């Protein structure tokens, strides 16, 4: 029997032996995700040990790509991994930090492009239990902590690129982008001939064998051994085939409520949501499909000891509000160290965002995009209520004259309040259809102060910007 037939038979068998489950519509599956708006991405793997430096050289590019950028041989990279021993790993503390920051879900790299599995796997010895000093599954306790704090958990899985399990694909990177290796001409000629691979060990199997022997069984392990999973986050469909994508996608039947992104294979496996990376889309680029911006706090996803170029909490809170005002989600990354700790800068940023979210979170959770588009002074989100609409104006630049003017706001105002202080604000409608809200002279929050205006009916207006 062909392997595909065996797989389908197994899936059918599993299906027949599960208690009858009502199949969920996309809207039902997406409900919590659309409500959540804010999640944590975690990029963690053995690359956190070299942390951007190999053989005394700083390697260019993002930390989790060090093996490819540095053209590190498979045997050397795997030898390095033996010392991976995250003794300070405290999943309870991680999840609590996410929750306190106001995040509602976590997506962690169960396996990144270096193919290293953070979980126990029968499909490949290149996993945390068999290949490192630590020797314990890292995902199981995270699952428990997420359950404890009511945080949804998703797994990122690099389905195509795998630089250690033979047969996995490798995106070709020019050597000088990593470091000025004197052998770069020879290496670059080799990677050109070998579809991005730089070590013969990477080509001992075909891509189809890698999919059947590693990717399919590992995704099955992830979907069966860790309870209810919220998200499966595919990444970089380098050289993906329809056959491989079909096999992987069919496994999702094991988790009927799961949400997936658009990176399994393009363009014919669109998943549930789009994934703009390191950028927030412009309004004109949005087509009604769900979307989630993923972004780093500094310049790398995986930990790099010398990247301290962090965005300010102000920028990140404004980003979150910009994204919410356009109807998207924000997946903000943390790259823990090899000992299992979040970098101090990330801890501080999360705490600041949490302080803001604790007071103003209702302007984000469960909201819909601004009917006005963007304002020059801030952002807006709306929530339909039983009796009308709650409109949230997040003001970044407090008006010097104490007047916030909202154009084309003709709904009858029930109340206007400053969320931070609870103070009631006066508002007056003008003949031109605009609404003027009178504000205290000083902004209660230097980053963004939220004004909640409850109005009658639905707000129907056109984007101004």
Please give the size of the binding site for ligand FHN, defined by CB under 6 A. Answer: 9
Which lies closer to ligand FHN via its Cβ, residue 83 or residue 277? 277
Which lies closer to ligand FHN via its Cβ, residue 210 or residue 301? 301
Task: Using the rule CB under 6 A, give the single segment among 60-68, 114-122, 215-223, 303-311 that binds ligand FHN.
Answer: 60-68
For the bound state, the minimum distance from the C-beta of residue 235 to ligand FHN, rounded and expressed in Å, comes to 5
Residue 17 tokens, joined: 């032996």
Closest of 448, 319, 381, 458 to residue 34, by C-alpha: 381
Q: How many of the other CB atoms lie within 10 Å of CB of 303? A: 28
Per-residue contact flags (x/-) with ligand FHN for residues 230 to 249, judged by CB under 6 A: -----xx-------------
Beta bridge partners of 382: 368, 391
301 binds ligand FHN (CB under 6 A): yes
User: Binding to ligand FHN (CB under 6 A): which residues in 379-438?
Assistant: none
Closest of 297, 248, 293, 319 to residue 97, by C-alpha: 297
For the bound state, the minimum distance from the C-beta of residue 405 to ligand FHN, rounded and expressed in Å, comes to 39
For the bound state, the minimum distance from the C-beta of residue 245 to ligand FHN, rounded and expressed in Å, comes to 17
Task: Using the rule CB under 6 A, give the single segment among 62-70, 413-421, 440-448, 453-461 that binds ligand FHN.
Answer: 62-70
CA distance 195 to 198: 9
* Member of 177, 183, 277, 285 binding ligand FHN (CB under 6 A): 277
Closest of 48, 114, 59, 121 to residue 83, by C-alpha: 48
Per-residue contact flags (x/-) with ligand FHN for residues 33 to 52, judged by CB under 6 A: ----------x---------
Which lies closer to ligand FHN via its Cβ, residue 323 or residue 363? 323
For the bound state, the minimum distance from the C-beta of residue 112 to ligand FHN, rounded and expressed in Å, comes to 6
116 binds ligand FHN (CB under 6 A): no
* Member of 45, 48, 64, 162 binding ligand FHN (CB under 6 A): 64
Write the CB contacts of 2 (distance below 8 Å, at least 6 apart in sequence): none
CA distance 451 to 151: 28
Characterize the bridge pairing of strands 427-429 and 413-418: unpaired
For the bound state, the minimum distance from the C-beta of residue 170 to ligand FHN, rounded and expressed in Å, comes to 11
DSSP 350-418: HHHHHHHHHHHGGGTTT-B--TT--BTTEEEEEEE-SSEEEEEEEESS--TTSEEEETT--SPEEEEEE
For the bound state, the minimum distance from the C-beta of residue 294 to ligand FHN, rounded and expressed in Å, comes to 5
373 φ/ψ sector (left φ>0, alpha ψ -120 to 50, else beta): left
The secondary structure element, H or E, covering residue 30 is helix 26-36
Q: How far does Cα 110 stand from its chain's mean position?
A: 13
Which lies closer to ligand FHN via its Cβ, residue 177 or residue 277? 277
62 binds ligand FHN (CB under 6 A): yes
Residue 197 tokens, joined: 């691979």
User: Binding to ligand FHN (CB under 6 A): which residues in 121-140?
Assistant: none
For the bound state, the minimum distance from the C-beta of residue 68 to ligand FHN, rounded and expressed in Å, comes to 9
Which lies closer to ligand FHN via its Cβ, residue 270 or residue 407? 270
Cis peptide before 267 (omega within 30 of 0): yes
Which lies closer to ligand FHN via its Cβ, residue 295 or residue 459? 295
User: Binding to ligand FHN (CB under 6 A): which residues in 319-348?
Assistant: none
User: Binding to ligand FHN (CB under 6 A): which residues in 196-235?
Assistant: 235
For the bound state, the minimum distance from the C-beta of residue 233 to ligand FHN, rounded and expressed in Å, comes to 8
For the bound state, the minimum distance from the C-beta of residue 355 to ligand FHN, rounded and expressed in Å, comes to 27
For the bound state, the minimum distance from the C-beta of residue 113 to ligand FHN, rounded and expressed in Å, comes to 6
Contact indicator for 356, 426 with CB cutoff of 8 Å: no
Which lies closer to ligand FHN via its Cβ, residue 294 or residue 437? 294
Characterize the bridge pairing of strands 449-456 and 413-418: antiparallel
Whole-angstrom CA distances from 183 to 68, 187, 292, 344 are 15, 6, 41, 38
Interface with ligand FHN by CB under 6 A: which residues?
A: 43, 62, 64-65, 235-236, 277, 294, 301
């Amino acid at each position: 029997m062909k392997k595909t037939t065996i797989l389908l038979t197994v899936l059918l068998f599993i299906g027949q032996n599960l208690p009858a489950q009502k199949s969920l519509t996309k809207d039902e599956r997406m409900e919590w995700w659309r409500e959540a708006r804010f999640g944590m991405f975690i990029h963690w793997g053995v690359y956190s040990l070299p942390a951007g430096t190999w053989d005394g050289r700083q390697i260019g590019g993002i930390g989790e790509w060090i093996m490819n950028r540095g053209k590190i041989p498979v045997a050397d990279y795997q030898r390095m991994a033996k010392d991976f021993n995250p003794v300070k790993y405290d999943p309870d503390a991680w999840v609590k930090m996410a929750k306190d920051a106001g995040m509602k879900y976590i997506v962690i790299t169960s396996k990144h492009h270096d193919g290293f599995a953070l979980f126990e796997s029968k499909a490949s010895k290149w996993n945390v239990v068999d290949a490192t000093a630590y020797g314990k599954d890292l995902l199981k306790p995270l699952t428990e902590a997420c359950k404890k704090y009511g945080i949804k958990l998703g797994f990122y899985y690099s389905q195509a690129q795998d630089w250690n399990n033979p047969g996995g694909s490798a995106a070709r990177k020019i050597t000088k982008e990593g470091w000025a290796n004197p052998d770069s001409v020879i290496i670059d000629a080799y990677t050109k001939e070998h579809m991005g691979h730089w070590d013969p060990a990477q080509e001992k199997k075909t891509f189809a064998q890698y999919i059947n022997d590693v990717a399919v069984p590992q995704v099955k392990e992830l979907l069966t051994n860790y309870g209810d999973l919220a998200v499966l986050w595919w990444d970089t469909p380098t050289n993906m085939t329809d056959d491989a994508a079909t096999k992987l996608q069919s496994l999702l039947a094991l988790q009927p409520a799961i949400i997936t992104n658009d990176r399994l294979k393009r363009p014919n496996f669109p998943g549930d949501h789009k994934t703009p990376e390191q950028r927030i889309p412009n309004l004109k680029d949005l087509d009604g499909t769900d979307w989630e911006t993923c972004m780093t706090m500094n310049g790398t996803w995986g930990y790099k000891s010398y990247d301290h170029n962090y965005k300010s909490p102000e920028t990140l809170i404004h980003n979150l509000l910009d994204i919410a005002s356009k109807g998207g989600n924000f997946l903000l990354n943390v790259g823990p160290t090899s000992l299992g700790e979040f970098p101090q800068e990330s801890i501080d940023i999360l705490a600041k965002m949490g302080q803001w979210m604790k007071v103003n979170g209702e302007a984000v959770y469960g909201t819909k995009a601004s009917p006005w588009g963007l304002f020059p002074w801030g952002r807006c989100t709306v929530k339909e209520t039983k009796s009308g609409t709650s409109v949230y104006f997040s003001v970044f630049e407090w008006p010097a004259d104490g007047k916030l003017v909202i154009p084309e706001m003709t709904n009858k105002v029930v109340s206007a309040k400053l969320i931070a202080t609870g103070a009631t604000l006066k508002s007056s409608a003008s003949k031109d259809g605009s609404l003027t809200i009178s504000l205290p002279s000083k902004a209660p929050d230097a980053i963004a102060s939220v004004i909640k205006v409850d109005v009658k009916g639905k707000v129907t207006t056109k984007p101004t910007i």
